[in-house]
């Protein structure tokens, strides 16, 4: 069976750029084009949900020129796609703490979400200024703020209720998490949601990740036995 939800850590743009004599920001630009190809391909294959890690809460620690370049890239991506998404069948959602993103980008994100809110096709989640720890803390604060002063801890603080306060509340947990570029870690991405995800790691650098690579990951997933903690 195909995974319903695929999440991707798009790693290796910097190394790819270096290998090809380009700047890191040029690497990110090619990475964003690859992202578009993979989103379209995922839709063709009938994948219902795709979530990608575009910028983490830790990525602010990169040099200013790179951070500015990434923000500009996301802004340009939205400028380029806002018209187009009207006629396509993707639903877009951005997760992460967005107040830090600058008014122009925040406005474009809201526009993208609004235009595609009623679309029924592949649900694309883009994680920007996203970190799992930050998400869980924000969810806990919101959950407690929503309750009366004297809370019944066992009734209010439950797994199901916390899920309803996470940024990802509208989407099921990822079935498959792909990370490119040979790194084997989660880097603060969907840590709660990944409890029973299958992982696929590849040495392929993100800008080289194409449809054939994606198919390879899907095939690998299809050969896994998922038990969710049960015995056979
Ligand atoms: C990791 O590679 C990649 C990122 C931190 C950015 C990922 C962003 C994109 C692919 C573009 C997103 C664009 C849109 C429009 C959503 P790295 O820089 O850590 O690579 P390295 O480990 O080789 O240095």
Give the per-residue pLDDT at 149: 66
Measured at the alpha carbon of residue 41, what is the angle toward residues 104 and 51, in degrees to the nearest 5?
A: 50
Residues of the chain with pLDDT under 50: none
Per-residue pLDDT, 148? 67
pLDDT the model gives residue 231: 85
Residues with CB under 6 A from ligand 1: 10-15, 28, 31-32, 35, 54, 59, 73-74, 77, 126, 181, 206
Kindly list the catalytic residues. 11, 59
Q: Is 92 helix (H, G, I), strand (E, B) or coil?
A: strand
Instruction: Give the ligand 1 atom nearest the CA of 18.
Output: 23
Q: Which atom of ligand 1 is nearest the CA belonging to 56? A: 5
Which tokens in the block code for residue 51?
């979530």
Question: Atom 11 of ligand 1 has which residue's CA nearest to it?
Answer: 32
Task: Give the pLDDT confidence score for residue 232 in this predicted structure.
Answer: 73
pLDDT for res 51: 98
C-alpha of residue 86 to centroid of ligand 1, in Å: 26
Distance 225 CA to ligand 1 centre (A): 31
Which residue has a Cα nearest atom 18 of ligand 1?
14
Which residue lies with its CA nearest to atom 6 of ligand 1?
54
pLDDT at 3: 98
Taking residue 221's Cβ as centre, other Cβ atoms within 10 Å add up to 21
The three-class DSSP label of residue 161 is helix
* pLDDT 10s digits, 168-222: 999 999 999 999 999 999 999 999 999 999 999 999 999 999 999 999 999 999 9
Residue 30 alpha carbon to ligand 1 centre in Å: 10
Residue 179: φ, ψ to 5°: -130, 130
How far is 209 from 207, CA to CA, in rounded Å? 6
pTM of the model as a whole: 0.96
Q: Residue 110: left if φ>0, alpha if ψ -120 to 50, beta else—which one? A: alpha
């Amino acid at each position: 069976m195909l995974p319903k939800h695929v999440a991707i850590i798009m790693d290796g743009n910097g190394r790819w750029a270096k290998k090809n004599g380009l700047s890191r920001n040029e690497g990110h630009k090619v990475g964003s084009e690859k992202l578009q190809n993979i989103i379209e391909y995922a839709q063709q294959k009938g994948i219902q949900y795709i979530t990608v890690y575009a910028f983490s809460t830790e990525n602010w620690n990169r040099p200013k020129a790179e951070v500015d370049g990434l923000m500009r890239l996301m802004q340009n991506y939205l400028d380029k796609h806002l018209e187009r998404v009207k006629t396509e069948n993707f639903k877009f959602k951005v997760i992460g703490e967005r107040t830090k993103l600058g008014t122009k980008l925040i406005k474009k994100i809201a526009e993208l979400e609004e235009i595609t809110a009623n679309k029924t096709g592949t649900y694309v989640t883009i994680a920007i200024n996203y970190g799992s720890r930050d998400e869980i803390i924000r969810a806990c604060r919101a959950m407690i703020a929503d309750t009366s002063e004297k809370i019944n801890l066992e009734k209010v603080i439950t797994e199901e209720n916390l899920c309803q306060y996470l940024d990802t509340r509208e989407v099921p947990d990822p079935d498959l998490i792909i990370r490119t570029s040979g790194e084997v870690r989660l880097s603060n991405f969907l840590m709660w949601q990944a409890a029973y995800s299958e992982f696929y790691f590849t040495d392929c650098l993100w800008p080289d990740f194409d449809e054939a690579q994606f198919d390879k990951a899907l095939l690998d997933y299809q050969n896994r036995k998922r038990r969710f903690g049960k015995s056979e």
